[in-house]
Amino acid sequence: MEQFSPMLPALTDEELDPRAAAVFADIRATRQTDFVNNFWRVLANDPANLERTWAELKEVMAAGTSLDPLVKELIYVAVSTVNNCTYCVRSHTAAARGKGATDEQLAELHAVVAAANKTNRLAIGLQVPVDEAFA
Amino acid sequence: MEQFSPMLPALTDEELDPRAAAVFADIRATRQTDFVNNFWRVLANDPANLERTWAELKEVMAAGTSLDPLVKELIYVAVSTVNNCTYCVRSHTAAARGKGATDEQLAELHAVVAAANKTNRLAIGLQVPVDEAFA
Amino acid sequence: MEQFSPMLPALTDEELDPRAAAVFADIRATRQTDFVNNFWRVLANDPANLERTWAELKEVMAAGTSLDPLVKELIYVAVSTVNNCTYCVRSHTAAARGKGATDEQLAELHAVVAAANKTNRLAIGLQVPVDEAFA
Amino acid sequence: MEQFSPMLPALTDEELDPRAAAVFADIRATRQTDFVNNFWRVLANDPANLERTWAELKEVMAAGTSLDPLVKELIYVAVSTVNNCTYCVRSHTAAARGKGATDEQLAELHAVVAAANKTNRLAIGLQVPVDEAFA
Amino acid sequence: MEQFSPMLPALTDEELDPRAAAVFADIRATRQTDFVNNFWRVLANDPANLERTWAELKEVMAAGTSLDPLVKELIYVAVSTVNNCTYCVRSHTAAARGKGATDEQLAELHAVVAAANKTNRLAIGLQVPVDEAFA
Amino acid sequence: MEQFSPMLPALTDEELDPRAAAVFADIRATRQTDFVNNFWRVLANDPANLERTWAELKEVMAAGTSLDPLVKELIYVAVSTVNNCTYCVRSHTAAARGKGATDEQLAELHAVVAAANKTNRLAIGLQVPVDEAFA
């Protein structure tokens, strides 16, 4: 499907500066795939931001922490949905499926997101005061 | 702490109409506590909405589905954070703790939410095109 | 209730420059009350913005157009709820009541806002394609 | 126009489970048309959510309540605009037109939404304190 | 690239009413180009809103004030990114480039926007109390 | 002013683990003040996130890049306004003043933010198609 062009070009491997190339090598090694998606190719125009952002995602989304990687990916999809980021909803739903998310889990995730959005707006619109128990 | 008053009054048990009273009874039975928080007391001004919203939360947040109740509560906190609902962040963080969330898990949750918000804005601001793999 | 101070001071009538004073006079004449709320007192630090914003609200929210003033005020409350602006939710709910909004209408308004927020997130999170009929 | 595929498939009538089929029958009977739009077809992957969401919309958006159905539809468009839901803006604008909304009313609606968004951000950015009259 | 149609038609020069035509003439004179972009063509269906909005942008974005026009355009891009307005991100990034923004400045802008979004959510999600120094 | 407590405690200097203490030392050295605000004290519960976030802010907001530090701080205030983060609006407005922002520049900033929010919603609500010139 034809799309608009990004605000900075999606760089090919040949166009990367050495810092960006090093990040791409780590993305490929970490994910064990040659595929590097457009997010990183556009961000590669700013190697410092690319380094920071990849290092952050690699650390935050890693296995071996108190939250399961699939749970973290589902939270990522939830946030991307509320922020209405098409690219992020699509890429992180794909990532969640790659980590084993089932259709049922994704449907359930969106039922929770929907309910939360509903009650969030009711609490705000009706200006519900915080109970002492939650203060 | 003194707070502003809600847009519709937080009803006491004595002020509930019969439909709202029935919902409150079910909230108490389901949660096994006499405490009914302000969200429901304000929503009780609209018994039909109270019935719908409680029935939805009871069903969506229940145990026994494909996502663990704690995971669903963490997703709820994530959504409430992005929507910036103070009442909801506070009440659902309390609920998450009640379901066993540790400080470490909550800190990790917010690290994921923070990273997602960051990359969401980069994808939007740089107008990253969706890869064929995600289309 | 004690609150934080604004980013620019809420000006008293004595502190207004002549352009701001003229706007305040028109606010008082239009609303037929001496009360000028804090929004205008803070905005008065930028007389050009004060003039533009008051002129816009006066024109947009006026009676005699295709939408009833109460309907427009309810839409204002709905937008303020989604934007989570406490000041705006409170001041425009008061304005809606001043224009005749009942408790029942306000409750119904928030039921619509809640339902819309819920289905908005479902459409985004599930990436529902636009039907030809809506294209 | 070619579009991305949804995160869960848009089900045909033949692919519906019995609970979803019953909801579709009620949508058709209530709206008096054979057309069922993609929102419901994608949501049909989760029959419980489909049932809840349709029941909620049917009740909330019905005629015979304190707010006129057209007014409720305009509020729906306003919320969808602030949430930036393309699908929802388009489908509910179509619904508003179906309930009689004129070009003039739609233009006026967006003028109110625009003004509200503007003053919402001014109140937040300048941190305007809530007046006692609104507390 | 094929796109959906707007909610009100994008008017040609021949379809403008006299008030809208006068605004278009001023847009062309101010920008010193014959090109009038779709935003104004769609808004031209509501000549009063077209007049107000153009007058506001012309005044707010003008040179000769305390903030440089390029700085104001970068702020515009930042806001449009957070609001996730594709049309606005694209048109105001183009405007920023027209006022001299370099690739490096745009990349830096988005690094700031990304960092701000991240810390905004941490402050909200963790409910950080305002320090006395900022109160 | 009395406030709600944060979701994780604001740590005193004595409660910091060594990694957090090292970050606090760098904050103090970089800012040349002993004052460490609550944001960092709450984030100190997650030393890895504290390290990442401080390193990011230190690098992104530094002098000597293509955008002036004051310009970057103004962009930070703009984003915080749209995200409606009270803590962030207040702390970054203070930071902007510390970098020399005048009342006039802050007022102008908010006039731009207000105008952008207004036109963002018009472009979204009216579904304005992207011009070829911006595609």
Asked if A89 has any chain D CB less than 8 Å from its own CB, the reply is yes
Is residue D99 helix, strand or coil? coil
What does each C-alpha distance from B109 to A87, A135, B96, C38, D19 come to in angstroms? 21, 21, 11, 38, 35
The identity of residue B45, as a single letter, is N
Residue A98: how many other CB atoms lie within 10 Å: 13
Helix C69-82 to helix C103-125 angle (10° resolution) is 50
Q: What average pLDDT does range C14-27 have in this prediction?
A: 98
Nearest residue in B to E78, CA atom: B125
Chain D residues with CB under 8 Å of F129 CB are none
User: What stretches of E32-99 show up as alpha helix (H) in DSSP?
Assistant: 38-43, 47-60, 69-82, 86-98
Residue E73: per-residue pLDDT: 98
ipTM of the complex model: 0.97
DSSP C4: P
Residue E2: per-residue pLDDT: 79
Q: What is the pLDDT of residues D108-131, one digit of tens each?
A: 999 999 999 999 999 999 999 999
Q: Is B132 exposed, middle or buried (0-12, 13-18, 19+ CB in 10 A)?
A: exposed
Q: Binning pLDDT at 50, 70 and 90, where does residue C64 land?
A: confident
Asked if C103 has any chain B CB less than 8 Å from its own CB, the reply is yes
Residue C84: per-residue pLDDT: 96
pLDDT at C135 over 70: yes
pLDDT at B1 over 80: no
Asked if C19 has any chain E CB less than 8 Å from its own CB, the reply is no
Query: Which tokens belong to D30?
Result: 């209530």
Give a three-class secondary structure readout of chain B.
CCCCCCCCCCCCHHHCCHHHHHHHHHHHHHHCCCCCCHHHHHHCCCHHHHHHHHHHHHHHCCCCCCCCHHHHHHHHHHHHHHCCCHHHHHHHHHHHHHCCCCHHHHHHHHHHHHHHHHHHHHHHHCCCCCCHHHC
* DSSP state string for chain F: ---PPPSS----GGG--HHHHHHHHHHHHHHTSS---HHHHHHTTSHHHHHHHHHHHHHHT-SSSSS-HHHHHHHHHHHHHHTT-HHHHHHHHHHHHHTT--HHHHHHHHHHHHHHHHHHHHHHHTTPPPPGGG-
**Among the CATH numbers 1.20.120.1200, 1.20.1290.10, 1.25.40.10, 3.40.1190.20, which is that of B9-60?**
1.20.1290.10
Partner residue opposite A118 with nearest CB, options C90, C109, C114:
C114
Helix (H) or strand (E) holding D125: helix D103-125
Q: What is the pLDDT of residues E62-93, one digit of tens each?
A: 998 999 999 999 999 999 999 999 999 999 99
How many angstroms separate the CA of residue A106 from the nearest CA in chain D?
9
Sequence-separated (6 or more) residues with CB below 8 Å from residue D32: none
Nearest residue in C to A127, CA atom: C86
pTM beyond 0.90: the answer is yes
Query: Which tokens belong to C89?
Result: 């939710």
What does each C-alpha distance from F68 to E79, E109, F105, F111 come to in angstroms? 18, 11, 14, 20
The identity of residue B3, as a single letter, is Q
Nearest residue in E to F61, CA atom: E112
Pairwise CA distance, residues B77 & B69, whole Å: 12
CB contact (8 A) between residue F43 and residue E113: no
Per CATH, A9-60 and A65-128 having the same topology is answered yes
Pairwise CA distance, residues D48 & D36, whole Å: 18
Chain E residues with CB under 8 Å of B119 CB are 114
Nearest residue in E to F35, CA atom: E133
How many angstroms separate the CA of residue B62 from the nearest CA in chain A?
11
Cβ(C44)–Cβ(C16) below 8 Å: yes
Sequence-separated (6 or more) residues with CB below 8 Å from residue F87: E123, E124, E128, E129, E130, E134, F38, F39
Q: What is the pLDDT of residues A14-55, one digit of tens each?
A: 999 999 999 999 999 999 999 999 999 999 999 999 999 999
Asked if B70 has any chain A CB less than 8 Å from its own CB, the reply is no
Q: Where are the beta strands (DSSP E) in chain A?
A: none
Does domain B65-128 correspond to CATH entry 1.20.1290.10? yes
Asked if A83 has any chain C CB less than 8 Å from its own CB, the reply is no
Cβ(C114)–Cβ(A121) below 8 Å: yes
CB burial of D96-127 (b: ≥16 within 10 Å; e: otherwise) equals: bbebebeeebbbbbbbbbbbbbbbbbbbbbbb
Q: Is A4 exposed, middle or buried (0-12, 13-18, 19+ CB in 10 A)?
A: middle
Asked if E89 has any chain F CB less than 8 Å from its own CB, the reply is no
Q: How many CA atoms lie within 13 A of A97 on its CB side?
A: 12
Residue E1: per-residue pLDDT: 63
Cβ(B51)–Cβ(B23) below 8 Å: yes
Q: What average pLDDT does range C35-43 have in this prediction?
A: 98
Q: Could you tell me the sign of the dihedral formed by the alpha carbons of F107, F110, F114, F115, in that order?
A: positive
Asked if C7 has any chain E CB less than 8 Å from its own CB, the reply is no
Asked if E130 has any chain C CB less than 8 Å from its own CB, the reply is yes
Q: How many CA atoms lie within 13 A of D109 on its CB side?
A: 31
Query: What is the maximum span of chain D, computed from C-alpha positions, in angstroms?
Result: 59
Nearest residue in A to E86, CA atom: A4
Q: For chain D, give every domain's residue range.
A: 9-60, 65-128
Query: Which tokens belong to D96?
Result: 């508003």
CB contact (8 A) between residue B49 and residue C111: yes
- The set of chains that have 3 or more CB pairs under 8 A with C is A, B, D, E, F
Q: How far is CA E88 from the centre of its chain?
A: 5
Reference C83, options D79, B5, F17; nearest CA is D79
Chain C residues with CB under 8 Å of F1 CB are 2-4
How many angstroms separate the CA of residue D87 from the nearest CA in chain A?
12
Chain B residues with CB under 8 Å of A101 CB are none
Q: What is the pLDDT of residues C104-124, one digit of tens each?
A: 999 999 999 999 999 999 999
pLDDT at D59 over 80: yes
User: First and final CA of chain E: distance in angstroms?
Assistant: 50
Chain B residues with CB under 8 Å of F84 CB are 84
Q: How far is CA C39 from the centre of its chain?
A: 10
C5: left (phi > 0), else alpha (psi -120 to 50), else beta?
Answer: beta
Q: What is the pLDDT of residues F16-41, one digit of tens each?
A: 999 999 999 999 999 999 999 999 99
Residue A1: per-residue pLDDT: 63
Interface test with D, best of E2, E4, E7 (most D CBs within 10 A): E7
The identity of residue B63, as a single letter, is A
CB contact (8 A) between residue C134 and residue D90: yes
Nearest residue in E to C129, CA atom: E4
Quote the percentage of chain F above a pLDDT of 70: 99
Chain E residues with CB under 8 Å of A7 CB are 89-90, 93, 106
Pairwise CA distance, residues B19 & E112, whole Å: 51
Cα R_g (chain C), whole angstroms? 18
CB contact (8 A) between residue D90 and residue E7: yes
Is residue D5 helix, strand or coil? coil
pLDDT at B85 over 90: yes
